[in-house]
Structure 1
Amino acid sequence: MSRQEARLTSGAPVRRPRDRKAQLARAAAELFGRRGYHAVGVNDIAAAAGVTGPALYRHFQNKQDVLGYVLLTGVDKLTVRVCTAVEGVENDPERGLRPLLEAAAEVSIEERALTALWRWQGRHLHAGDQKEIRRRVGALLAQWLKGLRALRPELDDGAADVICFAALSVFGSVGDHHATLPTPEFTRLLARLGETVVRTPLPTEQAPTVWRTRAPAPTRREELLTAATRLFRDRGFHAVSMEDIGAAAGIAGPSIYRHFTSKSDILLAASRRMADRLRLGLDNSLATATNAEDALRRLVRSYVDTVLRSDDLIAVYTAELVNLPERDGKELRVLQREYVTEWVRLLREVRPGMSDPAARVVVHAALTIVNDLPRTGRVNGRATLAAELAALAAAVLVAD
């Protein structure tokens, strides 16, 4: 018999831990990060925290409420940690920049699971919690921008947004991978990558247009695939039905099954297409390069072009593989790892003193910048975005 059970049977009062709500939130964050939001139930969270399901409802109304608490608390932690450092940049931009970047790096590493949770599970929040998080993050972002403008007064508002969001992507990238380093080294590396972004000159001209022949009219299958990937990106795989996909494509529900056997079949087709596009870009970059650095720069431009043509696909490919059948998901995760490993190999040829874990941190920072900014409303309409993405990613990879 447990101690708690003994107290219950003896009639003695049971003392609840004062931090029970925080304990439940920590358990939920770990489960959401490991299994995904939809695979976790209220009873799973309660069991992980060592309480019963009904006990959880004393603190939270439902699973969405738990997620909102976890993420809002995380945003508040970030704000407290970097607020003083942001003020330092405003007062003395040159001397204040590194403490700010190191503070942001420390929080990102310490709250790595929370960073991943926000990046990939935030869309499951209540609308009210989403709005409140945007408000709090927006207030902090305004301070960041004020400090950045003091450091680089030549930037116009749009360019300052690009630099600011790219730097945030560097810190957010730790939620996209499992590579790790000793904490002091990890912090210094992330801060240095953030500073590289902040100081990178942005191109003022558009990237050269990539010539393409006119695409044929989409088939019904293509229309369904396009509609589905957009819905998966916006709502998440589990929140989309086959009827939703058919309606978005203007196709009656039963007709979908002439092209795809299930929703998972659509997800698999989208993921394989993205994997094929990335592999083609990799092969072309390696085949035409003169050396490792040239290959890396070509690969950056190829990746930027592929993401800008496939922003829905890349979002699904990076976030939804967990929802595939085990065999298919495993196959595609292997392809993802192999693709990143080629970037790491090239980077270590260019910078032979860099360890494998450090190279992986750098590569993921560059990839995350390219993945994030086309999905950021304040910058994704810029005519120069392709050139800016290529410049920022290349700077992160090859700058000293």
Structure 2
Amino acid sequence: MSTQATTAARGSDRRAQLVAAATTLFAERGYESVSVEDVAAAAGVTGPGVYRHFEDKQALLAEVVLAGVGHLEQRSAAALAPTDPDQVAAPAGGEVTALLAELVALAVARPAAAVVWRWTGGHLAPADQREVARRAHALLTTWGDVVRVQRPELSAADAELLCWAVMSVLGSTTVHRTRIGSARARDLLRAAGGRVLGVQPGAAAPTPPLPAPAWTPGSRREQILEASSRLFAERGYHAVGIDDIGAAVGIAGPSVYRHFPSKVSVLVAVCQRAAERLALGVLDALRVGRDAHDVLRRLVGSYVDALLVSPDLRVGMSTDRAAVTGADREGLRRNQRELVAHWVWALREVHPELAAADAAVLVHAGLTVANDLARTRSVAGRPGLRAELVALVLAVLDVPSAQA
């Protein structure tokens, strides 16, 4: 190999290392909380070394996102390519099974590929946003068409809902640190994805939207929290300034500091409110649940209600939480661990054959389905969304649906 070719190969390898490092960091922390220096350190290069390959962080993000979409496209094409040139049509369900197996394998091998493109697209340049949206829409359409071959009774919108839910099951591998063997992870996620694809959207009676609080917070502190929660959910924590928060409650921005020492302390308080709401739901489920099945259904129902009635939980489950550090971060993690522990306990009561780690993987997958779909615009307006979210989460957990 010539010196020039060797240099080009090394440059290509370094670029790939940077993309891999950035993919992991963006998925774990969120785009705004990751610096070029963070990516450089993770890839084992200096900060200036990144700029030899990418103009700026946004250009690096574009390659990360498009690479993730590309991996999904490649795996989909591999799954749907006919293996027999004389084959006229795939056996019923065969394409769905093959597609799910390929996507699960990708999720286990490249966890961030299934999520980065969904939650960082707003930071892309407009041309890159359009390209990602075009390719993502084509993927979802292809997957929905495959599902509808097996389930022709589904509408295109219903099939899309199920495909989004499967994507969330796959993307859940990035939101927790539970470690199990790759083969076992593939088995669990493939089975959970299959159950999701068997859900009948709209089977439960549509429930009216949960009402927003009819009261106006009396204290200025609560007014600030209400406004901040809404703004953080709509724009993201980093895009909201103190002046924005102040304007939303009719005060000057610096006046917010009379009630909170910093913007991050406002974020912490929003997350704590969400945790308190969830804790009340857990206590209620444990108090009135008739058995483990009923407790688990109530846990799922109360979680979905918390997601839909207030933006607090959507903020608390987003990557914006990475802005919280030190003891506050540990407190939020402890709240989440306690919530997961209750779900894991109930799930193992229902399925005693599950190891604790296996149950935790399924619980995180179910929570991710609810978290993701509650903020996915293409499905958020469905009239029966509350019942559908409950049914989808219960399907992930392999628990029969009932009124939650």
Sort the TM-score into its range (normalised by shorter chain).
Answer: 0.7 to 0.9
The answer on whether the counterparts of 1:206 and 1:383 sit within 8 Å (CA) in structure 2 is no
Residue 302 (structure 2) pairs with residue 302 (structure 1): yes
Quote how far apart the aligned CAs of 1:210 are: 9.3
% identical aligned pairs:
43
User: Any conservation in 2 of the 1:64–1:124 contact (CA below 8 Å)?
Assistant: yes
Q: Tell me if the contact between 2:195 and 2:398 (Cα under 8 Å) persists in the aligned partners.
A: no
In 2, the alpha carbon distance for the partners of 1:62 and 1:18 equals 17
Once the two structures are overlaid, the 10-residue window that deviates more, 223-232 or 273-282, is 223-232
Residues 177-256 of structure 1 mapped to structure 2, 5 A cutoff: 177-207=176-206, 215-219=214-218, 220-256=220-256
Q: Given the alignment of the two structures, is residue 59 of structure 1 paired with residue 61 of structure 2, yes or no?
A: no
CA contact (8 A) 2:148 2:154 kept: yes
CA contact (8 A) 1:181 1:358 kept: yes
1:263 deviates by 0.5
Work out whether residues 169 and 192 of structure 2, in 8 Å CA contact, stay in contact via their aligned partners in 1. yes
Q: How many residue pairs are counted as aligned between the two chains? A: 389
2:384 aligned with 1:384, yes or no? Answer: yes
State whether structure 2 residue 81 is matched by structure 1 residue 82.
Answer: no
Q: TM-score, normalised by structure 1?
A: 0.88
For residues 398 and 43 of structure 2, what CA distance do their matches in structure 1 show?
A: 45
Aligned residue in 2 for 1:328: 328
User: How far, CA to CA, are the matches of 2:75 and 2:212 in structure 1?
Assistant: 51
Say if 1:53 and 1:153 are closer, same or farther in 2 by CA, change over 3 A: same
Unpaired segments ≥5 residues, structure 1: 1-12
Q: Secondary structure at the match of 1:173?
A: helix
Which among 66, 77, 101 is matched to residue 72 of structure 1? 66
The 3-state SS of whatever aligns with 2:93 is helix
TM-score after normalising by structure 2:
0.87
2:301–2:390 Cα contact (<8 Å) kept: yes
CA 1:210 to 1:134, structure 2 compared with 1: closer, same or farther past 3 Å?
Answer: closer
* 330-339 vs 203-212, greater mean Cα deviation: 203-212
Q: CA deviation at 1:34?
A: 5.3
Deviations 1:190-214 (CA, angstroms, capped at 9, x unpaired): 1111110111223444355699896
Give the superposed CA RMSD: 2.8
Q: Between 346-355 and 176-185, report the one with greater CA deviation.
A: 176-185
Cα gap change, 1:94 to 1:62, in 2 (>3 Å): same
Superposed counterparts of 1:274-285, under 5 Å: 274-285=274-285
Correspondences of 1:70-219 after superposition (within 5 Å):
70-86=64-80, 91-118=90-117, 120-207=119-206, 215-219=214-218
CA distance 1:331–1:157, shift in 2 (3 Å): same
Q: Give the drift of 1:114.
A: 3.9
Q: Which moved more, 1:227-236 or 1:344-353?
A: 227-236
Q: Which moved more, 1:248-257 or 1:338-347?
A: 248-257
Letter in 1 for 2:389: L
- Greater CA drift, 70-79 or 231-240: 231-240
Cα distance in 2 for partners of 1:212, 1:128 equals 38
**Is the CA contact (8 Å cut-off) linking 1:229 and 1:313 kept in structure 2?**
yes
**Residues 229, 125 of structure 1: CA spacing in aligned structure 2 closer, same or farther, 3 A cutoff?**
farther
Report if the CA contact (8 A) 1:196-1:399 is conserved: no
Aligned-pair distance for 1:257? Answer: 2.7
Q: How far does the alpha carbon of each residue in 1:361-393 deviate from its partner, in whole angstroms, 9 at most, with x for none?
A: 111121122112221222211211111111221
Aligned AA (1:56) = V
- Which residue in the other structure is 2:269 paired with? 269
Distance in 1 of aligned mates of 2:23 and 2:49: 18
Cα 1:389–1:86 change in 2 (3 A) is farther
Supply the distance in 1 between the matched residues of 2:30 and 2:92 (Cα, whole angstroms). 40
User: Deviation of residue 27 (structure 1)?
Assistant: 2.9
